[in-house]
Amino acid sequence: MESKQKNARALALEVLTRCESGGYSNIALDTVIKRNELTPSDRGLMTALIYGVIERKITLDYIISSLSSIPNSKIERDTRNILRMGLYQLIYMKKIPAHAALNETVSLANKRSKGFVNAVLRSYLREGDKIAFPDESNKIKYLSVKYSIGESLAEALLEAYSFGECKNMLNAFSQIAPITLRVNNLKATREEIFSKLDGALLTGFSPDGIILENAAVSELECLKDGRVTVQDEASQICVRVLGAQKGDTVFDVCACPGSKSFGAAMTMENEGQILAFDIHESKLSLVEKGAERLGISIISTQAHDARKPIEELFGKADRIICDVPCSGFGVIGKKPEIRYKDVKESENLPKIQYDILENVQNYLKVGGTLVYSTCTILPDENENNIKKFLEDHKNFELAPFSVGDLEVESGMITLLPHTYHTDGFFIAKLVRTL
């Protein structure tokens, strides 16, 4: 058992090192899993360490700097990652005995740094409860260190939300996110799938979803054979707001990886036409393969920049899904690297989003529905874009919608994780009146 755990920790260190060099954690993790024969418990330990350390990096580094006389920037990369792993186990993985976490972590260090790692971890065990964390008088620093987010994100959130709302939101993002499935009604009913899944819950708003906690989703037969697909409830709600009907012509203008196209096809009972566009031609195979697995035949794909008009399609769509590229700050609970992205890197996105919306509205028939959505929680990418669009286009208006018990009279909503138990997500329903 000891050697297996040690191997899992060594592999976790390997992945964290790759991520420090700019690699994506999910890709690096998948590569390591494929190259190594791991027991389920080893795979679970390795995955928990990788995502946990990335998710808590700022907090862990603050603790390291409080316990060490050596500045973090002067600590070797591998040594710093080993310390992060050790502290993460001691602080957040209570099922691992402290002596095991300490000894196994120290064993990863090279001879030169072994004593240093041992000293820092033991110092935490003795004095960890005495560390002085930033208090709420400095709200930006407090949110950054406590919830491990970049200071630019903390500042942006505080501009958009109250301090209390920020804390509640970030606390929700810090919880382990369950997996949400969308039942494929072309192959099964929700009741049939739900009855066969132990410990499952029904989604609170979407009539199509099932929530699974602590499940090895990749092992589910219903996923392999296309009776379900993975889709967060917020995205499922978005598809329901679209209201696609049998026989409709639907455009999904930024489609990859295709979950909203799939959901629309299911609600249309695979009757009608869906054109799935995406600027990245290499990703369209994800849509095609996904549709085949799910038994969907009405989706056709095309590589295209949604900012550029296709005049022969003007006025042809009954409904449009406009899920624009965004900063992704609504999914930091599932993609921890986004926590540290500088908000300034996204400052050009609102214009790109608006240009897409400005172009694709031409494709909609009079009386048709366009759903604009993002997986971010920043107003400039969400309601501010919609307000500007409505000022510029008097032939469009927001339309109220409801999905399950969710009633949105204003026609647009930002779903927040602590309120709706979904990803952070924005939805606006626009109808063309003239």
Q: Which residues are catalytic?
A: 375
75 in Cβ contact with 65 (< 8 Å): no
**Which contiguous run of DSSP H or E holds residue 372?**
strand 364-374
Cβ–Cβ under 8 Å, residues 319 and 369: yes
Return the number of other C-beta atoms located less than 10 Å from residue 410's C-beta.
Answer: 12
Taking only Cα atoms into account, the Rg of the chain, rounded to an integer number of angstroms, comes to: 24
- Cα angle 198, 204, 208 (rounded to 5 degrees) comes to 70
Rounded Cα distance between 242 and 430, Å, is 9
Pair of tokens at residue 416: 């927040």
What tokens does 19 get?
Answer: 């991520």
CA distance linking residue 239 with residue 244, whole number of Å: 8
Cis? peptide before 257, omega within 30° of 0: yes
The one-character DSSP state at 408 is E
Instruction: Name the residue type at position 258.
Output: G
Helix 151-160, helix 139-147: angle, nearest 10: 120
Cα–Cα distance measured from residue 29 to residue 35, given in angstroms and rounded to the nearest whole number: 10
For residue 383, give both structure tokens: 């309601």
Query: β-strand 209-212 against 201-202: which pairing, if any?
Result: antiparallel
One-letter amino acid of 49: L
